[in-house]
Structure 1
Amino acid sequence: MTYQTITIDRRNKGVVWITVDNPPANAIGETLMQELETAVDELGNDSTVRVIVLTSNHPKIFLAGADLKGMIQDTGNEQGEGNVISEKSARMQACFQRFAAVQKPVIAAINGHALGGGCELAMACDFRIMGKGRIGLTEISLGLIPGAGGTQRMTHLLGSAKATELIFTAKQLEAEEAQKVGLVHRAVKSEMLEAETTAFAEELAEGAVHAMGLAKRAINAAEGSMDAGLQVEANAFSETFLTDEPSIGLAAFFQKEKAQFIN
């Protein structure tokens, strides 16, 4: 498929890079969201894909926010059927949720500013490796609040106290500070971002990625009730035996060897 706002690059060991290329500022729009959804759905259903990496082609911006001018103009339409702004918020939430739900490891390689919507998309990924730029939920400084999942994801990641602090102050964090508070997993030198991300992605790709996907499903279920989460975990545990990963892993364990999950 030919895309307008992203490129797909299939690399070694089943690692696939999605690169956002939506000039001039990588702003979130309907075309970009549709293409991101199509790409992550296709890659999620492709058995040759083991790990997904999300990054940007912009030299300074990972992903910008939504079209705020358009939202302000739409406030006049709220008296009609439905709430236009609420619907746009839900639209972005649904797009980003695709990355949180896809049953494969997803890494955000943050190569520039990830503020507002960029931070929200990065938090929807399983891992965040950051080079240059700043990251944070800055909407309060505009008299708004995060609307693409940010209040929920940051709270789950950092706890309510830290999330409240960062959201209320609209703080923009450099990579190292973001790592210290747990917003990103690794802060790396900008010139090493691609190499560090590649090494980590390939390390994951060599593992039991089907089991990782099932574990991801169970981890996501932990956001609900304990009973429901335990049921999801039990079902996911059962599903691990539908592939050859347990036989490979257990055989290697008893033979005191490293399991080889990838050919």
Structure 2
Amino acid sequence: MSALIETADHGDIREIRLARAPVNALDTDLCRALIEALNAALDHGVRGIVLAGNPKIFSAGMDVPYLMSLGDDRKALLDAWQAFFGAARTLAESRVPVVAAITGHAPAGGCVLALCCDYRVMARSADPARPFALGLNETQVGLVVPEGIQRLMRRVVGTYRAERLLVAGEMVAAERAFEIGLVDELADQHNVVARAVVWLQHLLGLPHQPMLQTRALARRDLVEALDPSLIQLERFVDAWHAPDTQAGLRALVDKLKK
């Protein structure tokens, strides 16, 4: 297994933990390692998967400094985004249930991965004044949210609320995320993975094939949302070099350096 991924088995449930220090920023290698880990789990016959991150952060989303370092290398930029959307599709298409154990903040790409899971358990912050948050904040850094990704948000919070969150690029604090259905459960940080395992154990106690077949039907719209025709990756990469997008991304990189 890649050094970017850690795994632990809880009976027939496998925990897959993103482990790219310091904040699980999603570069090409991490996305490919996640795909490999998900496929390996299925090959090993697991019946459920927990996707977890670091304490205080699930994933910071795409590694923008890495992407900016690619400059005008369109092939490498396409490769990086293809790896990310490939990881999202692998989660969405998993033939076994997957729970996102959101151990901290989950902006942008981190939120996308969580939305591709069956169920989301999010950590409460020990400091109520500094809650953990998740959301699709792409517009804040100058990126367009593709139609397919917008559909992921709509299916969990509804059309109008998704519009408000997406257009503003809003990050949603954990307590409010629970209230609006963006996450399904809150837990103390040390207990997030355990709660994810408990939910899976309950689900796996149901008659197995009827549950899986019903699940596949219920998640068909999620899988369809990640069809390449709704992501339009070529157009997305074309827009990457727009002046206002580049300005927003450079501002983010400068902020991350501080």
TM-score of the aligned structures, taking structure 1 as reference length: 0.74
**What displacement does 1:198 show?**
2.5
Q: Is the 8 A contact 1:104 1:212 kept in 2?
A: no
In the alignment, structure 1 residue 54 sits paired with structure 2 residue 46: no
Sort the Cα spacing of 1:25 and 1:8 in 2 relative to 1 into closer, same or farther, 3 A. same
Deviations for 1:199-228, whole angstroms, at most 9, x for unmatched residues?
Answer: 212212222344333223222334699xxx
**Distance between the aligned counterparts of 2:147 and 2:189, measured in 1?**
27
Which residue does the alignment assign to 2:91?
A: 99
- Counterpart in the other structure of 2:32: 34
Tell whether the 8 Å contact from 2:27 to 2:80 is kept in structure 1 after alignment. Answer: no
| Secondary structure of 1:22's aligned partner | coil
Which residue type is aligned with residue 62 of structure 2? A
**Equivalent residue number for residue 18 of structure 1:** 16
Q: 1:204 to 1:87 in 2, by over 3 A?
A: same
C-alpha distance 8-173 of structure 1, shift in aligned 2 (>3 A) = same
Moved over 6 A (4+): none
Unaligned runs of 5+ in 2: 125-131, 225-258
Contact 2:4 2:18 survives alignment (8 Å): yes
Deviations 1:102-150 (A, max 9, x none): 1111000111101111100000101001113211111111111346953
Match for 2:51: what amino acid?
L
Structure-to-structure mapping, 1:225-236, within 5 angstroms: none
In structure 2, what is the equivalent of residue 125 of structure 1?
Answer: 117
| 2:105 alignment partner in structure 1 | 113
User: Does the alignment pair 1:64 with 2:60?
Assistant: yes
Distance 1:63 1:155, change over 3 A: same
Rg larger in structure: 1
Q: CA deviation at 1:186?
A: 0.9
User: Does the CA contact (< 8 Å) of 2:137 and 2:170 recur in 1?
Assistant: yes
The residue identity in structure 1 corresponding to 2:189 is S
Aligned partner of 2:251 in structure 1 is none
In structure 2, the partner of 1:248 is none
Contact 1:105 1:212 in 2 (8 A): no
Match of 1:239?
A: none
> Cα deviations across residues 32-88 of structure 1 (Å, max 9, x unaligned)?
1122111111222333x11111101x221101121223433545244xxxx764554
Rounded Cα–Cα distance in structure 2 between residues aligned with 1:44 and 1:220: 18
CA RMSD of superposed structures (Å):
2.4
1:148 and 1:134, CA in 2 relative to 1: closer, same or farther beyond 3 A?
farther
Q: Secondary structure at the match of 1:76?
A: coil
- Following the alignment from structure 1 to structure 2, what is the Cα–Cα distance between the partners of residues 33 and 115? 16
Amino acid at match of 1:220: R
**1:177-216 alignment runs, 5 A limit:** 177-216=176-215
Summarize the Cα distance change of 1:223–1:116 in structure 2 as closer, same or farther, 3 Å threshold: closer
Q: Distance in 2 between matches of 1:143 and 1:190?
A: 32
Aligned residues: 217
TM-score between both structures, scaled by the size of structure 2: 0.75
Letter in 1 for 2:116: A
Give the SS at the match of 1:18. Answer: strand
For residues 77 and 191 of structure 1, what CA distance do their matches in structure 2 show?
Answer: 41
Q: CA 1:171/1:200 → structure 2, altered by over 3 Å: closer, same or farther? A: same
CA contact 1:116–1:146 (8 Å) conserved in 2: no
Residues 145-154 or 34-43, more deviating: 145-154
Whole-angstrom distance in 1 between the partners of 2:15 and 2:222:
28
Q: Distance in 1 between matches of 2:118 and 2:185?
A: 12
